[in-house]
Amino acid sequence: MGTETGPIFQALDQTARYPYRPSEYLRRFIWVLVQLLLIRPSPARAYGWRRFWLRCFGAKLARTSRTRSSTRILHPWLLSLGAHSILGERVRAYNLGPISVGDHSVVSQDASLCAGTHDHTRADLPLQRPPIHIGSGVWVCAEAFIGPGVTIGNNSVVGARAVVAGDVPAAVVVAGNPAKVVKTRSIE
């Protein structure tokens, strides 16, 4: 079957029905329960409690890192947070691939970190899991979107609601959709 512009390329009936090992589905299910029953209802300042559960599932967290009870992390075993870094309210860490955050970095409320995509050049759309690296001293502002495979350099700022699809150099401020460098960040 085709359309006005030609044949349909992607074939959703050919995509992998189960792209993960069975043991990973079980681990994900248990993690969903832990988030729902033990993390989400935790008090606002119960950072140690949330670090405990994240570490139980393989997250690499500095002793002073923080997540909020409303933060959503898909695969804690693919997350690392540096010293004094925080994932804010309602941050979505869709980490099909690894996500690392350096020291003294903030990912503000409602931001999305998306370390997963599909290869659109193939009809069966295979899953891809490129990592996201967020440097040290970075501020990802409210409702920003960080896409798969992105590296954000140290001391940079990603403006509110920016859409970042490519690497961000160190010590700059980016904003917009798509995000572009708007100025350097003075770090004197």
Residue positions annotated with a catalytic role: 118
Rounded CA-CA distance 101/82 in Å is 6
Report helix, strand or coil for 161.
coil
Report helix, strand or coil for 183.
strand
Alpha carbon dihedral 150, 117, 22, 68, in 10-degree steps, equals 50
| Structure tokens belonging to residue 14 | 């050919």
Backbone angles phi, psi at 179, to 5 degrees: -65, 135
**The tokens 């869709």 sit on which residue?**
94
Run of H or E residues at 34: helix 22-34
Return the closest-CA partner of residue 124 out of 3, 10, 6. 10
Return the closest-CA partner of residue 139 out of 86, 77, 63. 86
Task: Please check whether residue 15 is in contact with residue 125, taking contact to mean a CB–CB distance below 8 angstroms.
Answer: yes
